[in-house]
Amino acid sequence: MAEWEAVIGLEVHVQLATASKLFSGSSTDFGSEPNALTDPTVLGLPGALPALNGRALELAIQLGAAVGSSIRRRSRFARKHYFYPDLPKGYQISQYDQPLCEGGAVELRGSGEARTVRLRRIHMEEDAGKSIHGARGHSLVDLNRAGVPLCEIVSEPDIRSGDEAAEFMRALRQLVRYLGVSGGDMEKGQLRCDANVSVRPAGSERYGTRTELKNINSFRFVKQAIENEIGRQTRILEGGGTIVQETRLWDADAGVSHPMRSKEEAEDYRYFPDPDLPPLEVSDEFLARVEGSLPELPAARFDRLVRDYGLSEDDARTLTQERTLADYFDRAVSAYAESSTKAASGAKALANWIQSELLRELGREGRDAASAPVSPESLAGLVRLIDDGTISGKIAKDVFAKMYASGEPAEAIVEREGLRQITDQGEIEAIAREVVEANPGQVEAYRGGKHKMLGFFVGQVMKRTGGKANPKAVNEILTRLLDAPG
Ligand code: ADP
Ligand code: MG
């Protein structure tokens, strides 16, 4: 039986995080009353003229620069015609033959082998409205989305599996959130994708006939819809059939796709330059300013954490997932380094605290690291107290819980509640003697060879000291007392 290889290219729409629409002043507030966010331009009323939102342009250029696209100094907007109730003008303003960004690539470096997905282009366009079907047999139209600024990112067909496609989407989500270009929330429709899928015999150079899957609105569905389509096409080809080039609609509830329409060709849209909008010129100064304002990107940050702090790739991946969390980590490490010479071991300890305690609490509340009740400086303070022996690691967990609840620094809690570790040998020995004297039976058992009994004595000392005795000292002292004859 032939081995088949899947070939996938994605067309991804990202909603740009602007306050107003792409060509007019209406707000982009999500969740407003239907049709509250309209104006003559959005409604396509005669005489209304579009004017480009400069912030949208800036965000689009940031995105293009971050993926290494070349930014055209001169691009233009085109009308893409189609008839649909949620598109009052009868055309969508998009870009066609002169997109803002060309080329570029996205690196996939999840847990598998690193791969590069090349990009064909990124262009700007406006979103359409939304039709809501089925209200008492009627269809309703909400134009709040109409005119919302989008970037469409078109990949080359470099993706080879549903998993890789989902990884590509995750990488884009991470990137747009780092840049602040978009919220990247698939559930809110801020990030959407159409998947072009074909299948060919492994080793073949030629692409097979593709279908385009629409309506994929979660990371899980990206993978599911593509895997389902690869399976469908493979079965047809193995049965000697041929693939029909068409657009298919993914039905997430049923877990299958249905044919929607035969693939339209570019000529069906009758693209032509929008005469209402002048050619889009990007000056060298503007481009340099936007490029200069880019933050450290996720891939560079990942590399830095591994290189400078010796973190494992898994740790670095988790910590760089969100920019706010990566910022939290960096701030904690520098606060720690200011007061300690052991910066590298501190970084590892901080990485552990963030990934276990902090992320668990934040996750419980659905909260972002930027608003964590424990500041990065406070967390560094806690780790310092463990390092210098002021508190034990076990007590530190309780202290962290109190810090999280109250927002107080570790030092204040430790002082007020008297949680300092008891390291004074004499003090520990006095308590250990009491425990030994109070338990003659256990002493006899220990001396008779039951050395496991040591754990019992350690437990008793810890109980009497509220867990504050230095465990190493307790062990040493008890061993000495118990091993001493009579
Ligand atoms: P159209 O002009 O019809 O939109 P494009 O050539 O621009 O088509 O490609 C659209 C998307 O389809 C791109 O992401 C591209 O990578 C992908 N694509 C093109 N050919 C194939 C194919 N044979 N199999 C899978 N994806 C493909
Ligand atoms: Mg296309």
CATH number for the domain including 451? 1.10.10.410
CA of 282 to the centre of ligand 1 (A): 28
Residues 313-317 have a mean pLDDT of 95
Ligand nearest the Cα of residue 157 is 1
Sign of CA dihedral 259, 263, 269, 271: positive
What residues contact residue 15 under an 8 Å CB cut-off, 6+ apart?
127, 148, 149, 150, 182, 183, 189, 190, 191
Ligand 1 pocket residue status of 157, Cβ below 6 Å: yes
Asked if 414 and 432 count as a contact pair (C-beta separation under 8 A), the reply is no
pLDDT greater than 80 at residue 135: no
Residues 451 and 473 in one domain: yes
pLDDT, one tens digit per residue, over 66-106 is: 999 999 999 999 999 988 889 999 999 999 999 999 999 99
Ligand nearest the Cα of residue 265 is 1
Residues 255 and 206 in one domain: yes
> By residue range, what is the domain housing residue 396?
298-416
Pick from 224, 259, 291: which residue ends a domain? 291
Residues 342 and 215 in one domain: no
Residue 449, burial from CB neighbour count under 10 angstroms (0-12, 13-18, 19+): exposed
What confidence tier does 247 reach under pLDDT thresholds 50, 70, 90?
very high
Q: How far apart are the first and last CA of the chain?
A: 82
Residues 131 and 267 in one domain: yes
Q: How many domains does the chain have?
A: 3
Pick from 392, 416, 440: which residue ends a domain? 416
Residues 269 and 329 in one domain: no
Ligand 1 pocket residue status of 156, Cβ below 6 Å: yes
| Measured CA distances, 12 to 212, 224, 481 (Å) | 12, 17, 71
Residues 298-325 have a mean pLDDT of 95
Asked if 21 and 149 count as a contact pair (C-beta separation under 8 A), the reply is yes
Q: Within 10 Å of residue 295's Cβ, how many Cβ atoms?
A: 15
Q: What is the DSSP letter of 275?
A: T
Ligand 1 pocket residue status of 5, Cβ below 6 Å: no
Ligand 1 pocket residue status of 99, Cβ below 6 Å: no
Residues 392 and 469 in one domain: no
CA of 157 to the centre of ligand 1 (A): 7
pLDDT at 341: 64
CA of 155, closest atom in ligand 1:
14
Sign of CA dihedral 360, 365, 371, 375: negative
pLDDT at 389: 83
Q: Is 467 left (phi over 0), alpha (psi -120 to 50) or beta?
A: left
pLDDT at 344: 64
Residues 283 and 176 in one domain: yes
Pairing assessment for the beta strands 211-216 and 246-251 based on DSSP bridges: parallel
CA of 423 to the centre of ligand 1 (A): 69
Ligand 1 pocket residue status of 94, Cβ below 6 Å: no
Ligand 1 pocket residue status of 8, Cβ below 6 Å: yes
CA of 263, closest atom in ligand 1:
3
Residues 436 and 395 in one domain: no
From the list 302, 266, 40, the residue with the least C-alpha distance to 171 is 302
Residues 380 and 404 in one domain: yes
pLDDT at 30: 79
Ligand 1 pocket residue status of 386, Cβ below 6 Å: no
Residues 239-268 have a mean pLDDT of 89
Residues 141 and 245 in one domain: yes
Residues 246 and 316 in one domain: no
Ligand 1 pocket residue status of 9, Cβ below 6 Å: yes
pLDDT, one tens digit per residue, over 427-447 is: 899 999 999 999 999 999 999
Segment among 42-51, 170-179, 224-233, 336-345 with least mean pLDDT: 336-345
CA of 196, closest atom in ligand 1:
26
CA of 102 to the centre of ligand 2 (A): 14
Task: Output the residue whose Cα is nearest ligand 1's atom 6.
Answer: 156
Residue 145, burial from CB neighbour count under 10 angstroms (0-12, 13-18, 19+): buried
CA of 209, closest atom in ligand 1:
23
Residues 354 and 371 in one domain: yes
CA of 88 to the centre of ligand 1 (A): 28
Ligand 1 pocket residue status of 80, Cβ below 6 Å: no
What residues contact residue 454 under an 8 Å CB cut-off, 6+ apart?
446, 475, 478, 479, 482
Ligand nearest the Cα of residue 263 is 1
Task: Output the residue whose Cα is nearest ligand 1's atom 11.
Answer: 9
Pick from 274, 291, 308: which residue ends a domain? 291
Pairing assessment for the beta strands 4-15 and 149-155 based on DSSP bridges: antiparallel
CA of 11, closest atom in ligand 1:
14
Ligand 1 pocket residue status of 226, Cβ below 6 Å: no
pLDDT greater than 90 at residue 340: no
Mutate to test the pocket of ligand 1, among 125, 196, 212 (most ligand atoms within 8 A of CB): 196
pLDDT greater than 90 at residue 469: no
